[in-house]
Amino acid sequence: MAYRDASFNRLAIKDYREARDWYAERSEETAARFVEAVDAAVKQILDTPDSWSVVSGKYRRVPLDKFPHSLIYYERTEFDVIVCWKNDWPDCPLRVVELRSDIMRLPSL
């Protein structure tokens, strides 16, 4: 699998910190398990982004293991384009821009 990056909405970060702190006030061990559950959910999203339930439009939901929280996410695809000279991957799941065929369509100078 190609490496993917995750970015987080500032309000989601705020919610995460508040939940972590709430658990930490009650038990450091529970707070650590909460952090681990969030980390595991983010890894699951990065590994298999299309595996989770669609909740609305492009948004998907991953429930946290053993906590009453979920991560809501969407996959950003605006950069999922391959630019190459010759496309030798006919079943590519991404949009492919093949420069060779584009150049052949240019008018002669």
Which tens digit of pLDDT belongs to each residue from 62-104?
Answer: 999 999 999 999 887 665 667 777 777 777 777 777 777 766 6
- Band of the pLDDT at 24, cuts 50, 70, 90? very high
Least confident of 23-27, 35-39, 79-83: 79-83
User: Sign of dihedral through CA atoms 37, 13, 72, 7?
Assistant: negative
Q: 61 or 106: which carries more pLDDT confidence?
A: 61
Amino acid at 7: S
| Structural contact between residues 85 and 59, judged by C-beta atoms closer than 8 angstroms | no
Instruction: Write the CA distances from 12 to 7, 34, 35, 49, 58, integer angstroms.
Output: 10, 15, 14, 18, 17
Q: Give the domain ranges of the chain.
A: 10-73, 77-109
Torsion of the alpha carbons at 18, 22, 27 and 31, rounded to the nearest 10: -30
Say if residue 4's pLDDT is above 60: no
